[in-house]
Amino acid sequence: MKNTKILIVDDEPAIVKMLQMVLRKEGFNRIYTAGSCGEALNEMEKHRADVVLLDVMLPDGSGFEICSRLRAFGSPHILFLTARASDLDVLTGFAMGGDDYITKPFNPLEIAARIKARLRRGEWRNSEAWVQEQPKQRVWDYGRFVLDETAGELKVLGKPVACPAQVFQLLLFFCKHPGVVFSKSQLYEAVWGIDGMGEDNTVMVHIRRIRERIEENPSDPKYLLTVRGLGYKLIKESGK
């Protein structure tokens, strides 16, 4: 992890300094900073950061607006850090391609933990051991939709449907455990890689995004069902 490149994009010097100090103590040495959208794009072009901590309200624009442009320089993990905490803001953050959404004030140690969890999961997935231990099945056919893990592709009614990485991973987790009920915290820990306490909103947003892709009517789901008081489960067809 010491070679992981992190770009902090925030116009508040105190927050940037705090994050730099904590991240260095946690073993991250390649840290870059930017205080505006323009600086963020320049730094990303030069350093191709692996992780971006991205504020939303910047002097020359919105972090939402540059999120997709930052992704053009590779496949960084983008974590929004912002004081904007409304449901609409959270939904917008994920819709624009963010992998996580953390509201201010926050514990910088939690930020470091989330970064480490993401990196560990990425290393484990790319390891030979992970490949060997996975079940042989790579394609899950639910009739209306088909998920192909090897191709990283979701098809609905035979047509490819764009699916952000975290949405894909959550749907893949459900496909690998059909009929099993998972709580929000269990889903967050399994897919995001860290303790899911307090992350209900993140999971709910991604559940909604899955339903918008695989369900004929997302408001009346037939595949990804809510089990009241317990969580969610994926089934072949409702009632069967």
Are both 119 and 218 inside the same structural domain?
no
What is the pTM assigned to this prediction? 0.57
H/E element holding 73? none
Higher-pLDDT residue of 182 and 94 is 182
Q: What's the pLDDT at 127?
A: 38
pLDDT above 70: residue 86: yes
Q: Of 43-47, 74-78, 117-121, 225-229, which range is least confident?
A: 117-121
Q: Is residue 195 part of a domain?
A: yes
Are both 121 and 150 inside the same structural domain?
no
- Of 109, 128, 147, which marks where a domain is finished? 128
Are both 105 and 204 inside the same structural domain?
no
CATH number at residue 106: 3.40.50.2300
pLDDT above 70: residue 136: no
Q: What's the pLDDT at 161?
A: 93
Q: Is residue 240 part of a domain?
A: no
Q: What is the mean pLDDT of the chain?
A: 84
H/E element holding 32? strand 30-34
pLDDT above 90: residue 9: yes
Are both 46 and 139 inside the same structural domain?
no
Q: Is residue 175 part of a domain?
A: yes
- Of 128, 147, 171, which marks where a domain is finished? 128
Residue 183 banded pLDDT, cuts 50, 70, 90: confident
Q: What's the pLDDT at 132?
A: 41
Q: What's the pLDDT at 34?
A: 96
Instruction: Read off the pLDDT of each residue in 5-16 and give the average, rounded to a whole number.
Output: 95
Are both 160 and 210 inside the same structural domain?
yes
Number of domain units in the chain: 2
Range of the domain at 31: 5-128
Q: Name the percent of the chain lying above pLDDT 90.
A: 47
Instruction: Read off the pLDDT of each residue in 221-225 and give the average, rounded to a whole number.
Output: 95
Are both 115 and 149 inside the same structural domain?
no
- Of 128, 161, 196, which marks where a domain is finished? 128
